[in-house]
Amino acid sequence: MRLSRFSNGFYWQKVSLLLVLLITSISAVANTMSLQDKWLAFYQQNWRDNPVTLSQQLLSQYPNTLLQSAVQYPDFDHYTWQDIQQLATVSSTCLTPTSSNEKLKTAIEFELAICSIQRKKSDKKDSDVLDLSWFSKHALRHPAGASYADRYFEQKGITNISVPFQNYLSADNPAHPLHGFFNQLSPKGRDALLNGYRAWLEKEDLWLSGESGWKKIPAKVWQPIANDLAIKLNGNSCAFRYSNLCLSDQKPNTTPLKLISILLLFGMVIIGLKSLLQRQQQNRDKRFILQLLTHELRTPIASLGLTVEMFRDEFDNLNQASQQAMWRLFADHQRLAQLTETSKGYLSTDKNQQLIQQTAELEEWLTHVCDKHEIDFTYSGYQHESNRTLTLPFYWLSLCLDNLINNAKQHGKGEVSVKVELLPTIQAKGKSPNTLRISVCDHGYFPSLFERWLTELSPKQRPNNMGIGLSIVARLMTQMGGRLIIKRKPTRCILELPL
Q: pLDDT digit string (tens) for 405-444?
A: 998 888 888 888 999 988 876 544 444 558 899 999 988 8
What's the pLDDT at 79?
A: 92
pLDDT band for position 17 (cuts 50, 70, 90): low
Instruction: Kindly tell me if the per-residue pLDDT of 43 is higher than 60.
Output: yes
Q: Where in the chain is the domain with CATH 3.30.565.10?
A: 355-498
Peptide bond into 490 cis (omega under 30): yes
Determine the Cα–Cα distance for residues 176 and 190; give it in Å rounded to an integer: 15
Q: What is the pLDDT of residues 463-479, one digit of tens each?
A: 444 345 788 888 888 88
Answer with the residue of higher pLDDT: 190 or 300: 190
Determine the Cα–Cα distance for residues 268 and 24; give it in Å rounded to an integer: 17
Q: What number is the average pLDDT over the span 102-119?
A: 87
Q: Where are the alpha helices (DSSP H) in 97-147?
A: 105-122, 132-137
Q: What is the pLDDT of residues 347-367, one digit of tens each?
A: 665 555 567 788 888 888 999
What's the pLDDT at 6?
A: 39
The burial class, CB within 10 Å (0-12 / 13-18 / 19+), for 453 is exposed
Is pTM, for the whole model, over 0.75? Answer: no
Give the chain's count of helices (H) and strands (E). Answer: 19, 14
Instruction: Kindly tell me if the per-residue pLDDT of 98 is higher than 90.
Output: no
Listed in sequence order, the residues at least 6 apart from 175 whose beta carbon sits closer than 8 Å to its beta carbon are 153, 159, 160, 161, 166, 169
Q: What is the pLDDT of residues 250-297, one digit of tens each?
A: 776 677 778 888 988 888 899 989 888 988 888 788 777 777 777 677
Long-range contacts: 84-87, Cβ < 8 Å, 24+?
Answer: 84/143, 84/144, 87/111, 87/143, 87/144
What's the pLDDT at 10?
A: 46
What's the pLDDT at 439?
A: 93
CATH number of 355-498: 3.30.565.10
